[in-house]
Amino acid sequence: MAAADLTTHPGHLARRLQQAHYLLWNTMVSEEITSPQFAVLNTLVAEPGLDQRTVGERVGLDRSTIAEVISRLSRRGLLDKVRDPQDGRRFLLRLTDEGVRTHRKLTVRTARMNQVFLAPLTAEERTVFFDLIRRVADAAEGLRNPGEPLVAPG
């Protein structure tokens, strides 16, 4: 059988896109704080006091990965973890002052990086780019829980 053309394989393209982004992030935004870590900081700026599981849900990280990311941010002193007095299973998360400062600094750099990253596309193409990726990702996400259909069953 002939070899497949990977340039028409969405999974391969997705991986290459993420690698390219990782590289640019590393050089233009931060070598310490990663993009997923920034996503967590960003979520806690919008909604302080969320628990770990919910933060993971917001940014798209499973229970194990979010635990690791939170642990690193906590070790760096960017957020505090306190047990929920209402529910002893949960830990409530909140950024420290240092965490807020870091988020502010990285937000500016991230915006600059996105400009460079998207430079090859026109404004209209960027809109399409976001739309297409979001639709594909959302649809695949939806296949996860067959028990939770998007529309109520007849």
Partner DNA sequence: CGGAAATAATCAGTGCCCTGATTAATTCGG
Partner DNA sequence: CCGAATTAATCAGGGCACTGATTATTTCCG
- For its own copies, the binding residues (CB under 8 A) are 1-4, 6-25, 35-36, 39, 42-43, 45-46, 59-60, 103-104, 107, 110-111, 114, 116-121, 125, 128-130, 132-141, 143-144
Distance CA 60, CA 65 (A): 10
9 contacts DNA (rule: CB under 7 A) = no
Indicate the residue among 87 and 138 with the shorter CB distance to its own copies. 138
11 binds, among DNA, its own copies, none (CB under 5 to 8 A by kind): its own copies
Nearer to DNA, 32 or 125 (CB): 32
Query: CB 77 → DNA: shortest distance, Å?
Result: 13
Contact between 37 and DNA by CB under 7 A: the answer reads yes
- Token couple for 8: 């028409």
Site of tokens 């069953």: 153
What is the DSSP track for 102-147? Answer: HHHHHHHHHHHHHHHHHTTS-HHHHHHHHHHHHHHHHHHHHTS-TT
Q: Is 63 in the site for DNA (CB under 7 A)?
A: yes
Contacts of 143 (CB under 8 A, 6+ apart): none
Position 87 contacts DNA (CB under 7 A): yes
Binding flag, residue 22, DNA (CB under 7 A): yes
Structure tokens at 56: 């993971």
Q: Write out the two tokens for 17.
A: 């896109």
User: How far apart (Å, rounded) are the C-alpha atoms in residues 107 and 29?
Assistant: 9
Residues contributing to the site for DNA (CB under 7 A):
15, 19, 22-23, 26, 34, 36-37, 51-53, 60-65, 67-72, 87-91
